[in-house]
Structure 1
């Protein structure tokens, strides 16, 4: 996880352990989050994981992503990973906007 609970955003390697990989919340609302998380995954300080915009949520069932929802248009979830020797890559997952 990338966290700012203890100062500036930094890799937090002892998360809850509910899912494999890493997580970065507030991906679209805090300017330091995206570059910091991308660098941490690219450098191997954090394993591949998920970046979640404010207003988006992901449902995992048996460790697999099964749904992405958002309370507003544009909020999304991204898979962040390094493929082979290439640079870090983000893959956006389309969110279903909730009514109401």
Structure 2
């Protein structure tokens, strides 16, 4: 069963430290399954770790976390070649596609070489829930702030654009991100930008933001828009968006 409409869950979270393994899925990852409407069988989830260079270690962590959660998991690798004959057939058979963190700039370049951007758009339209954390959040938007190019954050403006906004991740844990997002919105590099504290996710039906959800108490989402300052200088206006706290992990 697919989601009833194109759905994206863009997050700064989804994982927690495991008790017996390195990594377990936190509430946001389980919420992605709920959004997909998967029931009566093990949910099918594919992990795409392009942003981290298709790390086999991270693949194994994800597979172990999926086993503990009761999910049927697979990993789509693009290095050194795609590990699946038909990426489109595979992804269209999934409930959730989850994209890991790392370099969003490298992710975008590699996906486009392989036509994965177009395949993911078709999967999204077909009701496969697209989700991810950090770079796996930024990729769905028009752009945001990234450390893909070096330690100093820089703008990225060539995102997939499935969602017609900017995106800011790790908004409360990396002090340089908020001021750069404000600067990029104020000077017009980014339009309206949707941001998440660590542990928060944004749910989109089609291109409409419908809800912010959190796996961590006291965290929030934010919408940053350009505003008129008292002088000729443009400013950015930040509006908090309350996040609904998700329940216990299943």
Out of 189, 192, 206, which is 1:62 matched to? 206
- 1:40 is paired with a residue whose SS is helix
The alpha-carbon deviation at position 77 of structure 1 amounts to 1.0
Residue by residue over 1:32-87, the C-alpha shift from the partner in whole angstroms, topping out at 9 and shown as x without a partner, is 1011111111111221211111100010112111111001112111000013x332
Out of 56, 70, 73, which is 2:217 matched to? 73
Match of 2:181 in 1: 37
Out of 149, 157, 169, which is 1:6 matched to? 149
Out of 22, 25, 32, which is 2:166 matched to? 22
Match of 2:245 in 1: 97
- 2:219 is paired with a residue whose SS is coil
Structure 2 unaligned blocks of 5 or more: 1-143, 230-234
Q: Which has the higher strand share?
A: 1
Structure 1 unaligned blocks of 5 or more: none
Q: Which has the higher helix share?
A: 2
The alpha-carbon deviation at position 20 of structure 1 amounts to 0.4
- CA distance in structure 1 between the aligned counterparts of 2:160 and 2:173, rounded to whole angstroms: 23
The two structures, once aligned, show a CA RMSD in angstroms of 1.1
Higher-Rg structure is 2
